[in-house]
């Protein structure tokens, strides 16, 4: 049977996947391309799952049965998208795994000109202190080496004091800043990291332009260009504390005239989020809608309620 016929077109086609697995041991460029495509499909599936987890959409049709069929749909969509080389991850794998000179005709996966060299992400060492997020980490304005909240509740609890201070400065509500940070980082599970793996602590996805004098984290990101998702390599700002990320977010908005309209209506959280999106804060056309969806979710409301209660108990 032709190996092309064995390539799974449906995610439940286990016979096709088994045939591909049997051929994977051969040093065959065509087979490598198909295996790389399967890996890209798995990556896209994980990305779709993370997006759904971050959106926290709730409705009358939500149920475990709906989630099951939704998962099946995502797996099939991931397989279809991978065949169209939508992300280019398969191309990158083929170039890396093929013998030198065998993949010269592969197209470049980075959109735009090569990124200028940037200094490596360097975080100051932190003194050990037992806590919820690890013995080598510190909260507040103290330097941290990493940050990995294990639940949305922990995410909100640890960011809440910083969100309150930043929201007071901007004239908005802290829930909005928490929701935006949750969208940008997947509730802290997908933080921007430098090439050395260090956490940038960049909660708001702010890129490092030519005027930024601080540490940077060079990484690949997904942007929407001309209605399509594209992978780009870009430098992002890096901070040595969670408080530093919030403080720079406030300064960033105030220093950019294009966000003045958003600041003028900061007391209206949905309008503020919409104005940020319209001013070009993110390339995602539904950026503000996703922020509003997280703000309206019961998970965020419950987490904020718990953070307020903990704060009240601590004060007295």
3-state secondary structure of 310: helix
H-run or E-run covering 47: helix 29-55
Task: Name the catalytic one among 137, 175, 240, 248.
Answer: 248
Q: Which residue has the tokens 């809440």?
A: 160
248 is known as an active-site residue: yes
Q: Taking Cα atoms as reference points, which of 196, 199, 212 lies closest to residue 143?
A: 199
Task: Name the catalytic one among 146, 223, 232, 268.
Answer: 223
Q: Tokens for 93?
A: 């794998």
Q: Rounded to whole angstroms, how far apart are CA atoms 209 and 237?
A: 8
Q: Rounded to whole angstroms, how far apart are CA atoms 228 and 84?
A: 12
Q: Rounded to whole angstroms, how far apart are CA atoms 195 and 205?
A: 16
* Cross-strand partners of 221: 232
Contact 112, 255 (CB under 8 A): no
Q: Taking Cα atoms as reference points, which of 238, 215, 237, 241 lies closest to residue 142?
A: 241
223 is known as an active-site residue: yes
Write out the catalytic residue numbers.
223, 248
């Amino acid at each position: 049977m032709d190996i092309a016929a064995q390539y799974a077109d449906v995610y439940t086609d286990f016979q096709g996947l088994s045939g591909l697995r049997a051929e994977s041991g051969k040093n065959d460029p065509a087979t490598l391309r198909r295996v790389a495509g399967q890996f890209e499909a798995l990556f896209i599936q994980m990305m779709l799952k993370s997006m759904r987890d971050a959106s926290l959409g709730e409705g009358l049709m939500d149920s475990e049965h709906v989630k099951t069929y939704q998962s099946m749909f995502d797996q099939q969509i991931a397989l279809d998208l991978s065949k169209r080389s939508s992300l280019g991850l398969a191309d990158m794998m083929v170039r890396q795994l093929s013998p030198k000179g065998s993949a010269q005709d592969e197209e470049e996966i980075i959109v735009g000109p090569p990124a200028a060299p940037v200094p490596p992400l360097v975080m100051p060492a932190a003194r050990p202190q037992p806590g919820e997020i690890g013995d080598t980490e510190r909260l507040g304005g103290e330097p941290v080496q990493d940050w990995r909240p294990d639940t949305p509740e922990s995410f909100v609890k640890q960011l809440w004091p910083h969100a309150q201070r930043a929201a007071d400065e901007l004239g908005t509500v802290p829930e909005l800043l928490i929701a935006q940070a949750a969208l940008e980082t997947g509730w802290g599970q997908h933080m921007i990291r430098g090439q050395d793996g260090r956490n940038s602590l960049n909660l708001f996805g702010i890129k490092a332009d030519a005027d930024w004098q601080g540490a940077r984290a060079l990484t690949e990101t997904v942007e929407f260009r001309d209605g399509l998702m594209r992978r780009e390599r870009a430098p992002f700002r890096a901070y040595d504390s969670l408080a530093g990320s919030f403080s720079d977010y406030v300064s960033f908005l105030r220093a950019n005239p294009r966000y003045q309209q958003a600041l003028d209506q900061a007391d209206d959280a949905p309008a503020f989020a919409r104005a940020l999106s319209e001013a070009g804060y993110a390339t995602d056309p539904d950026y503000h809608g996703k922020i509003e969806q997280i703000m309206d979710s019961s998970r965020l409301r419950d987490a904020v309620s718990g953070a307020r209660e903990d704060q009240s108990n601590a004060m007295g």
